[in-house]
Every structure is written in C-alpha cells, then in structure tokens.
Amino acid sequence: MKWLITILFLVYMPIFGQSSLTDEQILQIKAKVENIQKENKILIELVSEYEKNAEMDSLLLVKKDEQIKTLQERSDLLEDQVKLAKPKWFENKYAWYGYGVFTVVGNIWLYDKVKN
C-alpha cells in the first residue's frame, strides 16, 4: 500500500507542478502535528489505563463469583448441620417429662396393687 501511494505520488507530482509553503505555514503545520502527537500520547495512556481497569474489573468479577459459590456451599453445609443438630424424637423434653410421669404414676399404681 505504501509503495502504491509512493508511485502515484511520483507519477502525479510533475503533472500538478510544485508549490512551496511559506515559513509561517510550515510552522503552523508543525504546531498542528505536535499538538496531534501530544493528544495521541494522552489517548494512548488513557487506553492503557482503561485496559488495566477492565482487567481488574474482570478479575474482581471472577473473585466475586468464586466468593458467591463459596458462600452458597457454606450455606448448604450450615443447613445440613442444622438438620443434624435438631433433636430426635427421643430427645424431646416433653417425652422425657412423660416418661417420668409414667414411671411415678406406674410405681404408685403398682404399689397400690401389691399392697391391696
């Protein structure tokens, strides 16, 4: 592509003739080029900063997803622990109260039957 532009430039240059620029025009072009180079440098720095921020954001998203997964697993394990920690039917305090009442009443009744 560069070669094509160079060849076209060399071919058409003699046709259009040469025109020279004044010193003032050259200085204006130079100032514009320098200004564009400064803006380009700033834009390149901004793009690199945004790329770093995008990478950090993606890493944060991955870590947050891992954290959510870990917390969900922990929640499931805690639910299992609650199921294991629930008292069974024979560990019920009302059942033990009933056993005690039955024992006392049964002994008194049995004593009455034996005594009579």
Over the stretch 27-69, which tens digit does the pLDDT of each residue have? Answer: 999 999 999 999 999 999 999 999 999 999 999 999 999 999 9
In this prediction, residue 11 carries a pLDDT of 65
1 in a domain, yes or no? no
Domain extent for 116: 91-116
Are 39 and 81 in the same domain?
A: yes
Are 36 and 73 in the same domain?
A: yes
The three-class DSSP label of residue 2 is helix
SS3 content of the chain, % helix, strand, coil (to 5): 90, 0, 10
Check: pTM over 0.85? Answer yes or no.
no
Nearest-angstrom CA–CA distance, 39 and 32: 11
Please answer whether residues 89 and 95 qualify as being in contact, where contact means their C-beta atoms are separated by less than 8 angstroms. Answer: yes
In this prediction, residue 89 carries a pLDDT of 74
Are 75 and 115 in the same domain?
A: no
